[in-house]
Each structure stands twice: as structure tokens, then as C-alpha cells.
């Protein structure tokens, strides 16, 4: 992980960690590193979510880009995957999304896409960081006549909606669904998209005011959507996060359908139609054991990566796999998109429901979710290193693994961003796995804290 960039761009409290000055510097540095040198005025598109600080950071980023000669095209409020799609459609050199995803309104972030719609590799992020931190000089600033300009893209939302619609070949006519937009980016797109696909929609949390993004709504707070689905007897509910690059679902009984269930439903359908390349799905080390067993039972290979959708995507690109994602609802359909897309994911899943005339609860029955428990233990940096070699910790992990008798698993890993060791245990009995996780945690506390 870089000094400024985390696993998903630069993020922090707006106007405190993520300032206008930093956004301006980032614009200049990104233009220097990413733009096509053969173009006199390289073209960069900028999208944003609905939080209060997004206008401010959009202006600062645009100013930085223009100051080094880039032409900026403002998309307005759009989902993150719209930027990833439109950067290639509009033949731009780079795309910028201003969003802090599922975080509350006081946070914001900036993520950058290259001209092919993919998130930046580590090497390019490091070069941008070096310029921002003054370790590498910026190219000379252009003369007045070469300063960049700012324009808008009035058809951005329409172009994105049409793209998602093009991936669905079966009408949703007859389906009645509830859509929780988290008062975020999907507030601009979801109602039109799913109505045009044929569904009858009920809209929740689609009135952003700059302060209410992700506030007790969306994919991180499912309770209101679950209650609404049961009360109004709709066929399914869909919850997006603030920038709509992921979604979770609710079946007709009000039960949550997480990313693992969504991948199981879509993966099995793709395999039945010959669309699951190499009969493989990519997940992470945190993917539920029930999903792995579902894959085994249906002749699908499972590949696990580190936690983070960027690592899932890297593995998919390396081996040309067509489906991958995370339990949190980041699902990547590589045939249609270069990043996770909550609305595209929902459209694919709902089209399967309609095509098979099946309830979502029936579709999700292909997978049985194993109970999973997590304990976080605060340790020193030295403790995080010593974890790999401490014999008592290793023995505690081995003992817990044997106690599961092949019907579960133990995963202990250091956090990539915090001074924590995370102990995750899965198994068939919740009380049993809680005891095993606590047993390991006590040994870690004795040895490493």
C-alpha cells in the first residue's frame, strides 16, 4: 500500500485529510503520469457522488488538471462504474471519481482510472505519489494559450444507463422491487434504469442532501430495506452503497442475500449457459466456506485472493476469468465491466429470477452459508511480524483447525491498514466457532500484546 493511496484510492476526512490543496496537486501529478503524451490537451473525465464536499474537491481537481494543460469533462453525479465505462467510451486519457464509497458524509476520496477503465496499478500510483510529495518534479507548466478547459457531458447518465441495459436480454416485466440508493450516486440512475428494464420500482433513500449519504441506509444498513420488503410484499430488495459500485440484496422474506450468494446464483447460471470462462469464480480469503462448497458441488473451481476487489480483478485479468467478487457485494462481470458495478450486478441477478420465474429465496438455496465469527486483537507492529513465527499461536490455530474436523476453517491474518490481527473461524455451529475464535485470541493476547 502506498503512502497516500490505499486499496481504493486516496481517502480521508474532507477539508482535513483530503484538502483542496491535495486534490489540486493530485490533478497535476495524475495528468503528468497518466495522459497520452501525443495529445496536446489530454482529456480527463471527473465524476462524483452526492456528499457535501464532492463539489469542492471536483473544482480543486479540475483546477489542478487544467493548470498542466488537461481538458476536463465533468460528468456530474454518477456511479463509480459509470466513470470506468465512460472513460473508454469518451476516449479520455483518464477518469477520476470523487467518492468515499460506503463511508459517512464527512469522508471523501479520489480514485483514478486509466484510459482503459481499470483502476491504477501500484506502479503508477507510486509515481503520482512521488510527484505530490516533491520527490519528482512536475513538467513545466504550459503557457496561457495551453491551459486546459472545463466542459460538461450532458449525456453521461443516459450513456451509462444504456450500457447497463445492453447487458440484460430478458425483460424484468412483472417483477416488483425495492431500491435503496443510500442517498448516493444511484439516486440519479436506478429508478430510470430498472423501470426501463420493465420492473415496478419502490424507491428508498433516494433524496440526497449532501449529509445523508449512507446514513442508516444502503448496503451497510439493511434493516430498513428488509422491513420494507416484508411489509410491502415485493419480490426483492436491492441496496447500493454511496457510489453504487456494489450491492446487496434482500429476498421476498426479508432475508439478506450477500455477495457470496449473488455470485453463486449468477455463477451457476453463467456455467449453465457456457458463459463462465474456465468454469472458475474468483473470491477472497474471506469468501464464505459455504460458497466454496457450492462451487465444489457444481464443478466450479474457486480461486481466492487477498481481501480487496482490486486483487480479485488482478487475478481475473491474469487468467481471463469472467466472474469474481467479494461478500460485501463488489461483483465484477468482466464481460461487461472493468470494475464492480452494483446496478449491473442487480440487473443480472433479477434477470435470472425473471427468466426462471423463481423466487430469490429459491435461487439462493444453491448455497448454505456457514456461520462465521471474527475477533480483532490490537497488537504492536512487532506483534504483527511475530505472529508468523510464534509457536504457541501456531499451535492454537492448529488445535482449532483440528477441532472443526474438516467442517470449517480458521483464518488468522494481520490487517493491512490497522494494528490488528483478525481471527476468523467458520463452522457449522456458531457457539463452537465462537469458543474456538476466543481460544485463539487469548493465546495471541498472551503472546503478542
pLDDT in tens, 236-289: 999 999 999 999 999 999 999 999 999 999 999 999 999 999 999 999 999 999
| Confidence tier at 398 by pLDDT (50, 70, 90) | very high
Q: What is the pLDDT of residue 236?
A: 98
Task: Please enumerate in sequence order all residues whose Cβ is within 8 A of that of 109, keeping only pairs 6 or more positions apart, or say none.
Answer: 8, 9, 10, 11, 12, 18, 98, 99, 100, 101, 103
Mean pLDDT of 182-192: 98
pTM attached to this predicted model:
0.91
Residue 36, pLDDT > 80, answer: no
Q: Where are the domains of the chain?
A: 10-154, 159-366, 372-448
Torsional sign, CA 374, 380, 384, 387: negative
d(CA 234, CA 204): 13
Between residues 39 and 374, the one the model is more confident about: 374
Q: What is the pLDDT of residue 5?
A: 79
| Confidence tier at 37 by pLDDT (50, 70, 90) | low
CATH homologous superfamily of 159-366: Alpha-D-Glucose-1,6-Bisphosphate, subunit A, domain 3 (3.40.120.10)
- In tens, the pLDDT along 400-448 reads 999 999 889 999 988 766 788 999 999 999 999 999 999 999 999 998 8
To the query of whether residue 101 is one of the catalytic residues in this protein, the response is yes
For residue 360 the three cell numbers come to 430469490
Pairing of strands 150-152, 71-77: parallel
Q: What is the pLDDT of residue 140?
A: 76
Q: What is the pLDDT of residue 144?
A: 80
Q: What is the pLDDT of residue 32?
A: 84
d(CA 241, CA 69): 34
* Burial of 71 from C-beta contacts in 10 A (0-12 / 13-18 / 19+): buried
Residue 185, pLDDT > 90, answer: yes
Q: Do domains 10-154 and 159-366 have the same CATH topology?
A: yes
Catalytic choice (71, 99, 101, 219): 101
Between residues 134 and 185, the one the model is more confident about: 185
Residue 56, pLDDT > 90, answer: yes
CATH node for 372-448: 3.30.310.50
Q: What is the pLDDT of residue 313?
A: 95
For residue 371 the three cell numbers come to 456461520
Alpha helices in 233-341 (DSSP H): 259-272, 289-297, 309-319
φ, ψ of residue 192 to 5 degrees: the values are -65, -45
**Out of 30-44, 152-166, 306-320, 391-405, least confident range:** 30-44
Q: Is 77 left (phi over 0), alpha (psi -120 to 50) or beta?
A: beta
Residue 2, pLDDT > 60, answer: no
- In tens, the pLDDT along 126-166 reads 888 888 888 888 777 777 888 999 999 999 999 999 999 99
pLDDT above 70 as % of the chain: 98
Q: What is the pLDDT of residue 1?
A: 42
* Burial of 154 from C-beta contacts in 10 A (0-12 / 13-18 / 19+): exposed
- In tens, the pLDDT along 332-367 reads 999 999 999 999 999 999 999 999 999 999 999 999
Q: What is the pLDDT of residue 39?
A: 58
Residue pair 102/220 in contact by the 8 Å Cβ criterion:
yes
Residue pair 199/377 in contact by the 8 Å Cβ criterion:
no
* Burial of 297 from C-beta contacts in 10 A (0-12 / 13-18 / 19+): exposed
**Out of 41-45, 194-198, 206-210, least confident range:** 41-45
- In tens, the pLDDT along 318-332 reads 999 999 999 999 999
- In tens, the pLDDT along 76-114 reads 999 999 999 999 999 999 999 999 999 999 999 999 999
10-154 has which fold? Alpha-D-Glucose-1,6-Bisphosphate; Chain A, domain 3 (3.40.120)
Q: What is the pLDDT of residue 417?
A: 61
Q: Which residues is 414 bridged to in the sheet? A: 421
Amino acid at each position: 500500500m502506498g503512502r497516500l493511496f490505499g486499496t481504493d484510492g486516496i481517502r480521508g476526512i474532507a477539508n482535513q485529510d483530503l484538502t483542496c490543496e491535495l486534490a489540486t496537486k493530485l490533478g497535476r501529478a495524475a495528468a503528468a503520469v497518466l495522459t497520452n503524451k501525443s495529445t496536446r490537451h489530454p482529456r480527463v473525465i471527473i465524476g462524483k457522488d452526492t456528499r457535501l464536499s464532492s463539489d469542492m474537491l471536483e473544482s480543486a481537481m479540475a483546477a489542478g488538471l487544467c493548470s498542466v494543460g488537461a481538458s476536463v469533462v465533468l460528468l456530474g453525479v454518477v456511479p463509480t462504474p459509470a466513470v470506468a465505462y465512460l472513460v473508454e467510451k469518451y476516449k479520455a486519457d483518464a477518469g477520476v471519481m470523487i467518492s468515499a464509497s460506503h463511508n459517512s458524509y464527512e469522508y471523501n476520496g479520489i480514485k483514478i482510472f486509466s484510459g482503459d477503465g481499470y483502476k491504477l496499478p501500484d506502479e503508477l500510483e507510486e509515481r503520482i505519489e512521488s510527484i505530490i510529495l516533491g520527490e519528482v518534479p512536475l513538467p513545466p507548466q504550459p503557457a496561457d494559450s495551453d491551459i486546459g478547459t472545463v466542459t460538461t457531458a450532458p449525456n453521461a447518465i443516459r450513456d451509462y444507463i444504456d450500457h447497463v441495459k445492453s447487458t440484460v436480454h430478458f425483460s424484468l416485466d412483472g417483477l416488483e422491487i425495492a431500491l435503496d440508493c443510500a442517498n448516493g450516486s444511484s439516486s440519479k440512475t436506478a429508478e430510470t434504469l430498472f423501470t426501463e428494464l420493465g420492473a415496478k420500482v419502490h424507491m428508498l433513500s433516494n433524496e440526497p442532501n449532501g449529509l445523508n449519504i449512507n446514513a442508516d441506509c444502503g448496503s451497510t444498513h439493511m434493516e430498513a430495506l428488509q422491513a420494507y420488503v416484508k411489509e410491502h410484499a415485493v419480490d426483492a430488495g436491492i441496496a447500493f452503497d454511496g457510489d453504487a459500485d456494489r450491492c446487496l440484496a434482500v429476498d421476498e422474506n426479508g432475508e439478506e442475500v450477500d455477495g457470496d450468494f449473488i455470485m453463486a446464483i449468477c455463477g451457476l447460471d453463467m456455467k449453465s449457459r457456457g458463459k463462465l470462462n474456465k468454469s472458475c469464480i474468483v473470491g477472497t480469503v474471506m469468501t464464505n466456506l459455504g460458497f466454496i462448497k457450492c462451487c465444489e458441488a457444481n464443478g466450479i473451481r474457486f480461486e481466492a485472493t487477498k481481501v480487496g476487489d482490486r486483487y480479485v480483478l488482478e487475478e481475473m485479468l491474469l487468467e481471463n476469468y469472467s466472474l469474481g467478487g467479494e461478500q460485501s457485494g463488489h461483483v465484477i462481470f468482466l464481460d461487461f465491466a472493468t470494475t464492480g458495478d452494483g446496478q449491473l450486478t442487480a440487473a443480472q441477478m433479477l434477470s435470472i429470477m425473471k427468466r426462471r420465474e423463481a423466487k430469490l429465496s429459491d435461487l439462493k438455496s444453491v448455497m448454505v452459508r456457514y456461520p462465521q465469527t471474527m475477533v480483532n486483537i490490537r497488537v504492536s507492529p512487532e506483534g504483527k511480524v511475530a505472529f508468523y513465527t510464534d509457536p504457541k499461536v501456531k499451535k492454537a490455530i492448529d488445535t482449532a483447525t483440528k477441532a472443526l474436523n474438516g467442517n470449517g476453517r480458521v483464518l488468522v491474518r494481520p490487517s493491512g491498514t490497522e494494528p490488528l490481527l483478525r481471527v476468523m473461524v467458520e463452522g457449522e455451529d456458531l457457539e463452537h466457532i465462537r469458543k474456538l475464535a476466543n481460544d485463539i485470541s487469548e493465546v495471541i493476547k498472551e503472546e503478542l500484546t
